[in-house]
Structures are given as C-alpha cells and as structure tokens.
Amino acid sequence: MPPKAKAAGKGRAPAKRKLAEEFPPGEVLTDTGKKAWKLGAPIGQGGFGLIYLGDENSAKPVGSDARYVIKVEPSDNGPLFSELKFYMRAAKPELIQNWIKSHKLKNLGVPKYWGSGLHEKEGKRYRFMVIDRLGTDLQKKFEECGKTFPRKLVLQLGLRLLDILEYIHDHEYVHADIKASNLMLSHSDPNQVYLVDYGLAYRYSPDGVHKEYKEDPKRCHDGTIEFTSIDAHKGASPCRRSDLEILCYCMVQWLCGRLPWEDKLQDPLYVRDSKMRCQENISQFMTKCFSSQDKPGEKGFMEELKSLGYQDKPPYEKLRSILQAGLKTIQARDDGKMEFTPVNAAVSLPAQVSTQIPLLHQAQHWLLYVIIPPICSPQWASHGDHEVAIVKMEAKMERGPGR
C-alpha cells in the first residue's frame, strides 16, 4: 500500500500538537528587545497557531488598518519556532533594505521581521512573532481567474520569485514550499507579491558550507505533494535547485491550469515517479501538460533546471533575462502592475473545450516565445528557424488539436 500524501501545505508535522487559545483584543506582549506589542482581532489560523492584527503598544486599540500581524502558538509547538529561525537570520528590516539598495530593486517580497518573544498567561507559555501585514493570497486570485493566469502575469511572478529566491538563497536558506497559497499580495500595494510561510525553510548552507546530499526515508515527500521537488520526494534535504524545480511546476500550473500528476495526489510514489519520468523524458511531460506534439520550449527550460547539481548555484540572472525576453516577445513589459484577469479566450467556448484549447494555445505561444529562444537553441533567432517554427505552430493552433 502506498504511503498517504501529506495534507497540502502542512508538510512534515507531528501528529499531536496543542492548539493556541484565543487571546482577547488588547493583550500586550513584550518581545526579547523589551518592546511591547498589542494584539488586535484574530484574522486567521496558521498550522497550530493563531494570527492577530497587531501594533506597537499604545492607549489606542488595534484597528483594522494595523501594519503588522502577530503569530502566536504554544511554546512547545514546532512550526513557529522553525519559521522564527529563518526570520531572525534573514528577514531583519536592515538586511532587506540593504539588499534592495545594492541590487537596485523597487521591492523584495520577503516579509520583514519586527520582533519575537515568549508570553505567559494562566500558567501557559506562548511563542509569538511580529511581521508585516499582508493581503490576499494568490491561490484565491488563481481561482477567481478560472485557474489560469495570463502570460504576462506568469512572467512577472516568475521575475519576482527569482528576486526573492536569490535573496533567501544568499542568506543560506531555501523555502521548499513555494505555491500560490504561500504567495500574498501587499496589504497596501496589490502590485507587490510576498513569499510567506517559512515553516519548511531549510538552512542548506550554514556558515557557507553546503549540506551533503543524503536520502532519509523518514523525510520522503516533505512539502506540498503536487509541487515538491524530486530531491524532497527521495528524502533528501532541499537545496537551491529544489526551489527552482518547484517554481517551474508552479508556473506550468498557473499557465495551464493543472499538472499531469494531480489526478493521483494521494499516491506520493506515483507523483514522485511521474516527476522523475518528466525529468527523464521531458517531451512526454510536454505532451501530458499541453496536449501537443509541438513542445520545444518547455523542454529547453526543463533541461536548464535538470543540468543543475545538488550544490550548484542557479544562474539567476540568466533565468531572469529569459523571463524579461519573454515579456518583450508578447509585446509587454515589466511595468510593475499585477493584472489578475481571466484569460479571455476561455470565456466564450463550451465548458468541455474551454479547459483545454485556450489553455493549450496560450501555453504553446508562451513556450515558443519565452523559453526556447534564449536557452534551447540560441542560433534559431539569427537563422530564421525559430520564426518558421512559430508560423507552423500558430497554423496548428488555428486548425485545433489533432488536425
């Protein structure tokens, strides 16, 4: 009997943990730096803790316009403690601001860490952490858009995530659980996206020394099953290439609506083997994703990821330039505006068709123009073969699948 899949987004977790009790608004918590914070209304639950609106302590109650959220959970629970280690090492405001300045970025989608500590009440101890308040998550946006994002948006999200991943990788961590529900828009600016939930974040290179590749059967399939990396499926600790592999799966899903192994997520061995077959036979993966025999572009992109070794540093700038070139080919630019609009082509077609043909068309177009020219066959653009391939592909699109 195959092992049971882990619940989406929860990853590795002991079977029994205490749930946090709800505190009344106005409860004051004091962090390790002796700064006092006041709790507002609870706005959500994460794992085994509660999330409250929060602000610096004052005579005023915490309003709905609060700038911070405060995560609280029983002190002997593990998730917040694990996440806290990442925030304390890599998300202090000065670190993020220095990176933004040195890399000439407008923003970096890592929530800032403002404080943490322990709080006692009625003989019980609680751990808390204060971070930036954020808005809605991308999973809700994805569903509102009919479970497909426009090409421009997919490219922009890819660019933002490359910025984020380069930063956290440079600070010795990998995220290991990238997905739409862990991406949130800024509360004050809906054009800024943040990567959240570092409960599975792993310090892959403590003090600059990369961890060795080692498979542990007890850690097999950690993460969110449909997106988790092959390394994680095998029980190896995540590394930088793992994050990029997860990002690739996310982008394919955002563009096409689903991944080919989503029909059997309760069978992690099937999902693992499907991803391994995808890596071994990328053309077959293309057929399953896009229902087309013409699939050169994504193959080139997957080969680029496949070439990375466990300890290799990813070519962030090269990957970034690929996405930027993709924006140009669809006559768009990274204007900083996140436009969450349904794909128009899917609206007027019958339901049975609209989930296949329009998504197929945009996927083929995106792959041809974005991925293959920069990395699979750079000489195409100068010799005309790429343009010929595009003409043939677009003619096939007009005829429809299988014609």
- Same domain for 84 and 152, yes or no, is no
Positions in the chain whose pLDDT score sits under 70: 1-20, 46-48, 286, 288, 290-301, 344-403
* 16 occurs within a structural domain: no
Q: Of 132, 157, 181, at which residue does a domain stop?
A: 132
- Same domain for 83 and 217, yes or no, is no
The angle, 0 to 180 degrees and rounded to 10, between the axes of the packed helices 79-90 and 151-170 is 80
Give binding residues as ranges: 71
- Same domain for 387 and 324, yes or no, is yes
Identity (one letter) of the amino acid at 379?
Q
Residues 6+ apart with CB under 8 A from 333: 327
According to the model, what pLDDT value does residue 49 have?
83
- Same domain for 329 and 386, yes or no, is yes
According to the model, what pLDDT value does residue 19 have?
66
Q: Of 102, 132, 162, at which residue does a domain stop?
A: 132
According to the model, what pLDDT value does residue 291 have?
55
pLDDT in tens, 362-402: 555 445 445 544 433 333 333 344 444 444 444 444 444 44
Enumerate the β-bridge partners of residue 120. Answer: 125
- Same domain for 242 and 391, yes or no, is yes
According to the model, what pLDDT value does residue 141 have?
97
Stated length of the chain: 403
Which is the catalytic residue, given 177, 222, 231, 267?
A: 177
> For the chain, how big is the Rg over CA atoms in Å?
22
Range of the domain at 179: 136-399
According to the model, what pLDDT value does residue 300 have?
54
Predicted structure pTM score? 0.80
Residues 6+ apart with CB under 8 A from 351: none
The count of domains in the chain is 2
* 2 occurs within a structural domain: no
* 368 occurs within a structural domain: yes
According to the model, what pLDDT value does residue 16 have?
54
Give binding residues for ATP as ranges: 71
Which one, of 250, 249, 229, 256, lies nearest residue 240 by Cα?
229
- Same domain for 272 and 141, yes or no, is yes
Residues 6+ apart with CB under 8 A from 390: 368, 369
Angstrom distance (rounded) from CA 228 to CA 247: 10
Give the angle subtended at the CA of 375 by the CAs of 373 and 378, to the nearest 5°.
55
Residues 57-94 as b or e (16 or more Cβ within 10 Å = b): beeeebeeebebbbbbbbbebebbeebbebbebbbeee
* 103 occurs within a structural domain: yes
According to the model, what pLDDT value does residue 14 have?
43
pLDDT in tens, 18-39: 666 789 999 999 999 999 999 9
Complete DSSP assignment for 216-254: -GGGTT-S-TTT--HHHHTTBPP-HHHHHHHHHHHHHHH
177 is catalytic: yes
